[in-house]
Chains A and B, each alone.
With several copies, the nearest count.
Chain A
Amino acid sequence: MSGNHCSSYQACARLVYVDLDFSPAEQGFRAEVRDWLSAHVPESLPSMDTPEGFAAHRSWEALLAQARLSVVSWPEEYGGRGASLTEWLIFEEEYWAAGAPTRVTQNGIFLLGPSLMRHGTPEQRSRWLPRMARGDDVWAQAWSEPEAGSDLAALTSRAEPASGGWRLYGHKTWSSRAAYATHGFGLFRTSGTRHRGLTYFLFPLADVAVRPIAQLDGLPGFAELHFDGVFADESMVLGEVGEGWRVAMATTSSERGLTLRSPGRFLATADRLVALARSSGDPALADRAARCWVEAEAYRLHTFGTARRLMAGAEIGSAASMGKVFWSELDLRMHALAMELLGERAGETPWLDGFLFSLAGPIYAGTNEIQRNIVAERVLGLPR
């Protein structure tokens, strides 16, 4: 029967199919990216939390930018290609599959970039975005404060009016990359309490007292920032004064959404994990590896669905919290399994650092406890 059935395949065209095929243009883009990466991806770079490693990662960003591959989804005027979300996802798949370096510019590109595009003046966009795309400026986020972590609205850093601008006071912490970055962005209180009266500021780190914080590996992946009257002129305010929370939420929703952790990174991890499990020969571990591989695939497919809705003009909104929970705990499961597979040899592989980093996944960008609250309250509508 199925034979006959397939012969009448034309009739199936009555409904337009759900479609997982890439267009010729998308396939061509994938091929170009794959070829360029295979020709240019460096063997391996020193940690970006060392001076030489930071410099090396910055040069890599410049090389990417020359090929117009550093911010493919941005408009051409800012150094991008105006690529579609689908193309950006393709780029990410190829980027991670090729084992290319972690993006030292990622906080600028993925956190500040979207806010600049949405809330920046034309001057601000043309002043900052192209330099960001080339890695000329490397931006560090400055959200957290010692007493304001998960509870960001509790922040107390403030900006006071001064002639021609503002003076910034206060103490930020857990600022990734700030030990070597050139600029920072964050929220400062200009009035009000909690979410009201916050303003989004940009600032050169040269003017700020930066105290590096050594991480588990001994390297300064974080820094504390101390502001005692740092001057910021009007051009360093992003969005309206007092509207910082809204401007930042645009960022953090994209932080939780697609841009922070595209599937490509987890697909690459899953492929490597399966290879590791295959060599172990323990079926129980292989079962866990296969499960992870399928879950990475599920995240990829789920993301294609989200991309489709976004391209149709929808917002991710609270559903992004489901993705954050899913990818962060998948990443942790994958790396924990790799630790079991490698045992005392883990330190000789990139898996150990990956494991330490994966443990942070359920913490940063809004802890998974907060994310589950958001899913329960805003997606399912349970009472606060």
Chain B
Amino acid sequence: MNFGFTDEQLALAATVRDVLRAHCPPAALRSERRPAWEQLAALGFFGLLLPPESDGLGLGLTDILPALEEIGRACLPGPVVETAVAAPYLVGGALKLASGAVCVSVLLPGQVYAPDADLADLIVVAAADGLRLVTKECVRLTLRPGADPCRPLFEVAFDFAEELGGTAVPALRRATVATAAQLIGVARELLAVSVAYAKVRTQFGAPIGSFQAVKHQLADVAVAVDFAAPLVWRAALAVDGAAATADRDVSAAKAAAGEAAVLAARVALQVHGAIGYTEELDLRFWLARAWSLSAAYGTTAVHRERLRAAVLADDLRRYP
């Protein structure tokens, strides 16, 4: 029993954080579609989950969870989860996947649209009779309206696609947990920004953060995030270990992380007031990310329903 991250796992996260601080500042969210991609590739980030025979490190999802929280915290745009977490379990053999030279989007069961598909060299689409690999040359994309300017959604049509063996399940589970980890990072950043603002914004002659009603709303966010995070870690362990409870645990993680991030977004707006609504303030990028990721890879409602079904079906097994 050793439920916490190792120094190596935290060191990886710290490296990613430094890279993102340097190469994905808030300004980049306004100007770039794939900031810090090259630098993450240089770190070997896109090979972390790939097996050695594909030039990867063969790590588990659990190993990169803290790094994924940092990616959420930085609100990093681009199909990072799709390329670094989903693709290895769908097209792990694809040339140069580990190098980050190939950009991947996915449209798997439960997804409505393919995120960042306009940047993708390859799109993996789940058809009724199996997986399809679509190259950017043969795809027709239609942009769909959404909440998140930095995570555009696309309808995917294609004339030609290569059949792919295997199942979407391992990739989908991992992409969902990775999204939950990002949501934890998004929520932590929204909380930090709101706390910082509540310390400096004064009304009625005092910082608004000194009013008990503001304190308690922010405390509730801290509690929600602090108790959602362990569910995400546990889901990663269950997925890495192919535990029988994996799907239940994935749904528990995604629902809890989504709700924590949505609560953090609501409180952030309440604390900021009207200025929180402005295009000028960077806050809006994190708000949008909280909303878009809470709907990605299954809404909170979908995962709550799965959870309900599992628990009512007497799946009360704890871990281990």
Q: Do chains A and B touch in the complex (CB under 8 A)?
A: yes
Q: Which of A285-301 contact B (CB under 8 A)?
A: 285-287, 289-291, 293-295, 297-301
Q: Is A315 an interface residue (CB 8 A)?
A: no
Q: Which residue of A lies closest to B269 (CB)?
A: A359
B304 engages A218 (CB within 8 Å) = no
**Contact yes or no, B166 A282, CB < 8 A:** no
A384 touching B3 by the CB < 8 A rule?
A: no
Q: How many residues on the A side are at the interface (Cβ–Cβ under 8 A)?
A: 103
Contacts A285-B301, A362-B270, A382-B198; A5 near B312 (Cβ below 8 A): no
Q: How many A-B residue pairs have CB under 8 A?
A: 305
A144 at the interface (CB under 8 A from B): yes
Query: CB of B16 within 8 A of chain A?
Result: no
Q: Are A301 and B3 in contact (CB under 8 A)?
A: yes
Determine whether the beta carbon of B227 is less than 8 Å from that of A380. Answer: no
Overall SS of chain A's interface = helix
Q: Are A14 and B291 in contact (CB under 8 A)?
A: no
Bound: A376/B269 CA distance, A: 18
Within B272-287, which residues are at the interface with A (CB < 8 Å)?
Answer: 273-274, 277-280, 284, 287
Q: Is the CB of B145 within 8 A of A348?
A: yes
Does A304 lie at the interface of the complex (its beta carbon under 8 Å from any beta carbon of B)?
yes
A15 touches B63 (CB 8 A): yes
The reply to whether A15 and B59 contact each other, CB–CB distance below 8 Å, is: yes
Contact A284 B308 (CB under 8 A): yes
Let me know if B88 and A5 touch, CB within 8 A: yes
Q: Which residue of A lies closest to B5 (CB)?
A: A18
Instruction: Decide if A1 touches B305 in the complex (CB within 8 Å).
Output: no
Residues of A within 8 A of B12 (CB): 15
In-complex Cβ contact of B195 among A7, A150, A373, A381 (8 A)? A381
Evaluate contact between B222 and A380: CB separation under 8 angstroms: yes
Which residues in A have their C-beta under 8 angstroms from that of B291? Answer: 339
Q: Is B150's beta carbon under 8 Å from chain A?
A: no
Cβ of A36 within 8 Å of any chain B Cβ, yes or no, is no
Given contacts A304-B3, A305-B230, contact A377 B89 (CB under 8 A): no
Among the 9-residue stretches B37-45, B178-186, B207-215, the one with 4 or more Cβ atoms under 8 Å from chain A is: B207-215
In which size bucket is the chain B interface? 35 or more
Within 8 A of A (CB), among B113-172: 113, 144-147, 153, 166-167, 170-171
User: Majority SS of interface residues in chain B?
Assistant: helix
| Known contacts A343-B295, A348-B145, A382-B198; is-contact A18 B62 (Cβ 8 Å) | yes
B203 touches A345 (CB 8 A): no
Q: How long is the Cα–Cα vector from A374 to B242 in the complex, in angstroms?
A: 40
A16 to B214, CA, bound (A): 41
**B105 on the A face (CB < 8 A):** no
CB nearest neighbor in A for B311 = A290
B252: min CB distance to chain A, Å: 5
Check B231 against A298 for contact (C-beta < 8 Å): yes
Q: A118: CB under 8 A from chain B?
A: no
Contact A4 to B227, CB < 8 A, known contacts A291-B304, A344-B112? no
B227 touches which of A295, A367, A369 (Cβ 8 Å): A295
Most buried by A among B59, B233, B269, B308: B308
Q: Does A86 touch B at the CB level, under 8 Å? A: yes
Interface residues of A in 1-32 (CB under 8 A from B): 1-9, 11-12, 14-23, 26
Query: Closest approach, in angstroms, between the C-beta of B290 and any C-beta of chain A?
Result: 11
Given contacts A2-B170, A301-B230, A360-B277, is CB(A376)–CB(B311) below 8 Å? no
Is A149's CB within 8 Å of the partner chain B? yes
Known pairs A336-B262, A346-B147; A8 contacts B58 (CB<8 A): yes
Contact between A298 and B256, CB atoms less than 8 A apart: yes
Complexed CA–CA distance, A17 and B65 (Å): 11
B8: nearest residue on chain A (CB-CB)? A15
CA A218 to CA B104, docked complex, whole Å: 29
Q: A154 near B: Cβ within 8 Å?
A: yes
Contacts of A379 in B (CB 8 A): 219, 222
B77-115 CB contact bits vs A (8 Å, 1 = yes)? 000000000001111110000000000000000011100
List A contacts of B228 (CB < 8 A). Answer: 298
9 additional A-B residue pairs with CB within 8 Å, beyond A173-B274, A274-B316, A376-B209:
A8-B51, A12-B60, A20-B3, A21-B1, A215-B279, A222-B274, A293-B311, A294-B231, A344-B292
Please list the residues of chain B having a beta carbon within 8 angstroms of any beta carbon in chain A.
1-6, 8-9, 12, 49-53, 57-60, 62-63, 88-93, 111-113, 144-147, 153, 166-167, 170-171, 191, 195, 198-199, 202-204, 206-207, 209-216, 218-220, 222-223, 226-228, 230-231, 233-234, 236-237, 240, 242, 252, 255-256, 262, 266, 269-270, 273-274, 277-280, 284, 287-288, 291-292, 295-296, 299-302, 304-305, 307-308, 310-312, 314, 316, 318-320
Interface residues of A (CB under 8 A from B): 1-9, 11-12, 14-23, 26, 86, 144, 147, 149-151, 154, 173-174, 213-216, 218, 221-222, 267, 271, 274, 277-278, 280, 282-287, 289-291, 293-295, 297-302, 304-305, 307-309, 319, 322, 325-326, 332, 336, 339-341, 343-348, 352, 356, 359-360, 362-364, 367-369, 372-373, 375-377, 379-384
27 A-B interface contacts by CB (under 8 A): A5-B50, A8-B53, A11-B52, A18-B9, A18-B233, A20-B1, A20-B320, A22-B1, A23-B1, A144-B274, A150-B204, A213-B280, A215-B277, A222-B277, A284-B308, A301-B230, A307-B1, A308-B1, A322-B223, A336-B262, A343-B302, A344-B146, A368-B270, A375-B223, A380-B191, A380-B219, A382-B198
